[in-house]
Amino acid sequence: MAVNPNPRNNDTDGPRSFELKAASFTLPIIRLIDNNIEAVAARLGAKVEKAPDFFRNTPVVIDLSSLPEGVGAGELPLLVGLLRGYGMIPFGVRGGGKEQNAAAEALELAVLRDSYVRRGKGASKAEEPPPESEVAVDEAPAPQARASKQAASPRRSNPGFMLITKPVRSGQRVYASGGDLSITAAVSSGAELMADGNIHVYGPLRGRALAGMSGNLEARIFCQDLQAELVSIAGHYRVSENIPVELRGVPVQIFLDQKILRIEKL
């Protein structure tokens, strides 16, 4: 009888050393409008200064779909260095042409498939991907609060307060500039809430919630059902993996105590 001299070569024998699975992640996207790296550095620096801990070690995707064919390939190494200098981790590019993708591959960045590219470069309406959370680094923050695609129907009873009465869906971003934000509906995974003041959520809070965006250490987050992917007060953050099980799915308040992020039951 023949005996296999190397039994470990049989894939069905012995303990498994790894598993290969598919998973989905929500990644920030930096969408370039032109290749003026100095302008990008100025805008991005202002954003990072507001919440440095939020951007630290954050993987980001560079969207090149708004640039003409070939434009930006030479500046891509500068942009990658800029992002790394701010503590971010450039993960890959999307929407680029042949020359742009070649430059990305030379920098060992992933080139994401064309199905992620927005409409406007040949994609039909049926191929349009779901809404995504994007940071347009060449545009100054709007002077008033806004919601991505305006689907959340914000209401302002005064200049320092924003009320959202409809669900905030995945990919939507709501920013209450200069005041508090209140949501009376559910917040989906992949959505992002931001406010210079407090955040109140009277439904399930999934996605991300960032209060005190302007550096207000006294800001707080209140929610009836904590299921968030990330919560932050004035740049001090905690991700879902670091939120105790007993604090998930219950009413809580989130605040800073001597610059330490606390989560307490209400």
Phi, psi of 205 (to 5 degrees): -105, 105
Q: What is the pLDDT of residue 120?
A: 37
Lowest mean pLDDT, pick from 81-85, 119-123, 254-258: 119-123
Nearest to 32 by CA among 56, 66, 1: 66
CATH 3.30.70.260 residue window(s) in the chain: 29-135
Q: Which fold has domain 29-135?
A: Alpha-Beta Plaits (3.30.70)
What tens digit of pLDDT does each residue of 7-18 get? 455 555 567 788
- Identity of the amino acid at 102: A
- Is the CB of residue 129 less than 8 Å from the CB of residue 116? yes
Tokens 């992949």 belong to 190
Residues 6+ apart with CB under 8 A from 47: 55, 135, 137
* Beta partners for residue 139, in sequence order: none
pTM over 0.85: no
Instruction: Tell me the CATH number for domain 146-265.
Output: 2.160.20.70
Of 122, 135, 124, 109, the residue nearest 40 (C-alpha): 135
| pLDDT tens-digit series, residues 176-216 | 888 899 999 999 988 889 888 999 999 999 988 989 887 88
Nearest to 118 by CA among 171, 170, 66, 61: 66
Q: pLDDT tens across 72-87, in order?
A: 788 888 888 888 877 8
CB distance 254 to 260 below 8 Å: no
Residue pair 83/59 in contact (Cβ under 8 Å)? The answer is no
Cα distances (angstroms) measured from residue 203 to each of 33, 105, 108, 183: 36, 43, 42, 8
Separation of alpha carbons 195 and 49, rounded Å: 16
Cα distance from N-terminal residue to C-terminal residue, the chain = 71
List pLDDT tens digits, range 54-78.
777 788 889 988 888 778 788 888 8
